[in-house]
Amino acid sequence: MEMEYKDPSRRNRWIIVLGVVFAVVAGAGSYLVLTRAQQQASQPSTSKVITGVVAARPLLAHKPLVRDDLAVRKDIPADITNVNTALLVTNPDDLVGVLLAVDVAPGQLITRNLLASDVAGGEFQILAPGESVAPDSEMWRAVALTVGDDRAVGGMLQAGMHVDVVMTVTPVLPSAAPSASGQPSASPRNFNYYSDATTKITYQDMKILAKSGSFYILKTTLRVAEEISHMQAAGAAQFSLILRPGLDSRIVDLSTFGETTNRILQRYGVLLPQAFPVGTYPSPPPIPAITPAPTPAPSGSQVPSPSPSASASG
């Protein structure tokens, strides 16, 4: 039986043809890609740019800005850090006399969230970066609180720190109505209570916006600002400030807080002074009279001889 002979040259020709076709297709694709890239590169850039005020030289925090500190750039590439038009400053005159909250490097874009105050001559800004005023936003205010150094962490508190506010008041209880006998009646309303100082943490996590001597400017809501203003104007309370750790933003349930002198004495078992027992006590014996010194003998008189016992001991 003879085997059928097949010429392998025909299959090789087909392989060569397919290889040429693939090479042509790949070359055409590469040409199209390069041509498109060249066309895009030759077209003018469509990237968005913005205009803003930048630092013309190194600027220090808490130093009023002058016109020579500022410059205007009109070719700043826009990105997610500067597209917020509410923070962008385009007129350098708007920043003259304003204080920076941080140091700024030359050429750095100056936005409103870098300012310590948004008005000339001001030293602080109430709204934090990213906060804005809207119909449903919190009504933030700044209120002054007078606190002596002994009740403000030794006077070492500074702007930017967060504190809790402690209030000490002395409630005045109404007097008991007189009874028929003319003596005050022991009504349940005031039988177990009397007027004395009482202390409680009232406001938590308040930011110090500025400090001047014993005056602390705190960021707070309109309602709390009203309460603080009343208590200070009426002289009804003394306030203390206690420093919070920078990382601790927890709000504590204060329903179990509050201190009086008696509560602290009871908690720690402090002994109370007792009246000295009343009774009759013997008087101390009288102090004996002091024996006067002997009178010196007149000159020329005979001095008595010592006694025998004194001679023997000598």
Q: What share of the chain is helix, strand, coil (3-state, %, to 5)?
A: 25, 20, 50
Q: 45 and 77 in contact (C-beta within 8 Å)?
A: no
What mean pLDDT value characterizes the chain? Answer: 80
pLDDT tens string 93-114: 888 888 887 889 999 999 888 8
CATH placement of domain 49-114: 3.90.1210.10
Locate CATH 3.90.1210.10 in the chain.
49-114
What Cα–Cα distance (Å) separates residue 48 from each residue in 27, 45, 90? 36, 9, 16
The length of the chain in residues reads 314
Q: 132 and 126 in contact (C-beta within 8 Å)?
A: no
pLDDT tens string 55-87: 999 998 878 889 999 999 988 888 877 777 778
Instruction: Tell whether pTM > 0.75.
Output: no
Q: What is the band of 40 on the pLDDT scale with cuts at 50, 70, 90?
A: low
Three-class DSSP category at 269: coil
Higher pLDDT, 63 or 244: 244
Say how far apart CA 241 and CA 162 lie, in whole Å.
9
Q: What is the band of 157 on the pLDDT scale with cuts at 50, 70, 90?
A: very high
